[in-house]
Structure formats: C-alpha cells, structure tokens
Amino acid sequence: MREDWLMLIAELKSRFTSMVEEVRIPGEYSTDVPIFYVKKEGILDVLQYLKTVSGSGYEFLSDITATDEMGGEEKTHRFEVVYQLFSHQRKSRIRVKVRVKENEEVPTAVHLWNAANWAEREVWDMFGIRFSGHPNMRRILMDSRWKGHPLRKDYPLRGYQIFPTPEEPDPKLLE
Amino acid sequence: MGKDGAPSYFTTRLEEFVNWGRKNALWPLPFGTSCCGIEMMASLCSDYDMSRFGAEVVRFSPRQSDLLIVAGIIVSKMAPVLRTVYDQMGDPKWVMSFGACASSGGIFNVYSVVQGIDTILPVDVYVPGCPPAPEGVIHALMRLQERVAKGETYSQRREVAARHQKSLG
C-alpha cells in the first residue's frame, strides 16, 4: 500500500510539478489516506489524470465536500474543497484538496463524474462555494429562500429560518 | 332501549351529542417522520390498539382525517409541507404533537429543525418522551377526547367564534 502511494506521489509530482502544492501521507501526518493539495488551476487535470490514466485508476468519486478554515493560522485561504476518490482495483482511497478564498470559484467536475453534480450543489448550499461551469448551480438541501450558508463558521448555530408557505417550484422542473 | 325491549330515550344538548360523536371517531392522519413514527405504529397495532378509542381508521388523505399526529422531527424544509397538509384537512381538526422533537425540537437545537410545530400550526395536545411510550399516546388521545367532549379545542373554539360572528350578522 505504502509503495503504491509513494509511486503515485512521485508520478503526480513529476507530471504536475507546479500544481501539487503539498502532499501528506499516513505515518508522517495524522491522516488515514494520502492527501494532495492541488492548486485551483490544476485541479481538473489532476482529477482527470487520476480517473482515466491506467495505473492510477481512482475512477470512483465518493464525495465532494468542504471545510471552513475561518480563524485558522493560515490566512491565505478560507475554505478547502475536498474530493474523496476511491479505486476499486486497488481498494484504496485518496483525498484531493483545493484551497480557495471567499467568493472564489472552483471549476466543476461534472464532465468527469456525473456524481459531482449534486455533491457540488451541496457544497454551494452549505458553504457558498460556487463551481464555475456547473449546469444547475442551485441549492439542493435548504429552501430556495434561505439566506446564508449554514455550515459556514460565521453562520449562527441557531439561525432558524422557518417558511410556512411552500417554495415556488423551479420552472425548469415543470417543463 | 330498555332491558325489556321497551323504547326509552334520554335528553341532551345537540352540541354535546355532536362532540360525543366527534370524540369517539378521531380518524388520525399519521405524519411520521422518524423514530416516533415507529412508536406511533406500535400504539396503532393490536397490542395497544388505539382503535378501542375510536381512532379506528388511519387515513393518509388529509381530507378524510380529523386528527393530525405529527410524530417526529420536522425539519425546516418539511415545515411548509406540514402546514399544507394541515390546511387541507377539513374542520373540525385536531393536532397531536408526538414526542420531544415535534413539541420543541428536542435535542436538535440547530438551524435546520423547527423548534416545535406550534410555531407553524395550533397544537391541541403534546405527548412528551423520546419517543413516547404507547401508553403515553393513548393517555394523550384520552385527554384529547375529554377536551373534544368539552368543546375546548382550537378548531372547536374557532367554530364557535365563527358561529357567533355569523349570528351577529
């Protein structure tokens, strides 16, 4: 397992020299799977490489989520968008992360995985991170009239918003 | 009818007779959204058998039911749905708030959960518990029946007020 990871890390580092910012592997850092920090500009290339190029075979997108790093030591970014990938062939997982500032957009991965569609909508709904090029960037869980993004650190924990009337249906869904 | 088969009668007020009929035919609409729904099913099933109290027919259509049993967590996205179901029920109608979550939000004091369904609709009887035992549900149903018989519930008071308004012209 560890040899596989080291090989993959060497491969990615040589192929995307300027794009891979940082690599964290189990043993040296408290994580269960290797984490790649990738620059926003290179994220699609890295994901496509991991998905399609034989030998890596991380073809399954488990989830896309995000973390709010507000108040952290690093002031260079606010959010981390997290891509969880799984390889059926290797039976192993890796994690790819992108650091973004507030109001910064991340390119969508919908053309790589259809599963990214709803996952990215959830990230938009909960954290307010937009994905450029997404075909349907609407809220997925909260009411369409909701103000704010509830999983942000600066959203009040008890920020209730109750709507007794039903929300207007999306005209696109009625077609 | 007397014991010997002779005809007999008793007198009452029409209102009380109507309330007697209503209290013994509370058809529930089960709005079960989580674990409380399971406990509600248990109290409707043969061991506890809520039909002994006239809550015989469980109706999934709001037009055919009198008693809305809200059993479980109501999240903020479910709130308009619940309100619509309540509005679709014909008068007179009663609401039972079943369990801690429906009554107060329970342990979920967060942005996504309605902090008690009484913020969106009038509630006649609350059942505490997480989830409440079937005995609690039956107790609540009997309390509700008492109140229906006395004409003390929200919808009946509204009815009386409407009639009063009408008589005033």
Chain B: give the shortest CA distance to residue A122, in Å.
14
The pLDDT assigned to B151 comes to: 79
CB contact under 8 A, A165 and B83: yes
The pLDDT assigned to B47 comes to: 86
The pLDDT assigned to A67 comes to: 92
Task: Summarize the confidence of residues A73-86 as an average pLDDT.
Answer: 86
Provide the number of CB pairs (under 8 Å) joining chain A to chain B. 42
The pLDDT assigned to B163 comes to: 77
CB contact under 8 A, B81 and A162: no
Complex ipTM tops 0.90: no
Interface contact B79, partner A, CB < 8 A = yes
Chain B: give the shortest CA distance to residue A171, in Å.
19
Interface contact A1, partner B, CB < 8 A = no
Domain that holds residue A109: 2-174
Task: Summarize the confidence of residues B28-44 as an average pLDDT.
Answer: 88
Q: What is the mean pLDDT of chain B?
A: 86
Residues of A in contact with B115 (CB under 8 A): 160
Of the candidates A141, A150, A162, which has its C-beta nearest B79's C-beta?
A162
The count of domains in chain A is 1
Dihedrals φ, ψ of A107, to 5°? -65, 140
Burial of A14 (C-beta count, 10 Å sphere; 0-12/13-18/19+) = exposed
Q: Where do the DSSP E strands lie in A26-74?
A: 35-38, 60-68
Chain A residue with minimum CA distance to B121:
A164
**pLDDT digit string (tens) for B43-92?**
888 888 888 888 878 888 899 888 899 998 998 888 888 888 998 888 78
The pLDDT assigned to B106 comes to: 86
Task: Summarize the confidence of residues B8-20 as an average pLDDT.
Answer: 82
Please report the DSSP string for B31-68 in residue order: EE-SHHHHHHHHHHSTTT-GGGGT-----SSGGG-SEE
Structure tokens at A104: 């910064």
Query: DSSP label at A75?
Result: -
Residues of A in contact with B80 (CB under 8 A): 143, 163-167
The pLDDT assigned to A118 comes to: 92
Interface contact A55, partner B, CB < 8 A = no
CB contact under 8 A, A160 and B84: no
Can you tell me the distance from the alpha carbon of A34 to that of A94, in angstroms, rounded to the nearest whole number? 5
Entry field: residues in chain A: 175
**pLDDT digit string (tens) for A102-145?**
888 999 999 989 999 999 999 999 999 999 988 888 888 888 88
Interface contact B115, partner A, CB < 8 A = yes
Structure confidence at residue A66 as a pLDDT band (50, 70, 90): very high
**pLDDT digit string (tens) for A10-65?**
888 888 888 888 888 888 888 888 899 999 888 998 888 888 875 668 889 999 99
Interface contact B80, partner A, CB < 8 A = yes
CATH of domain B22-168: 3.40.50.12280
Chain B: give the shortest CA distance to residue A100, in Å.
25
- H or E stretch at A123: helix A116-127
Can you tell me the distance from the alpha carbon of A175 to that of B17, in angstroms, rounded to the nearest whole number? 52
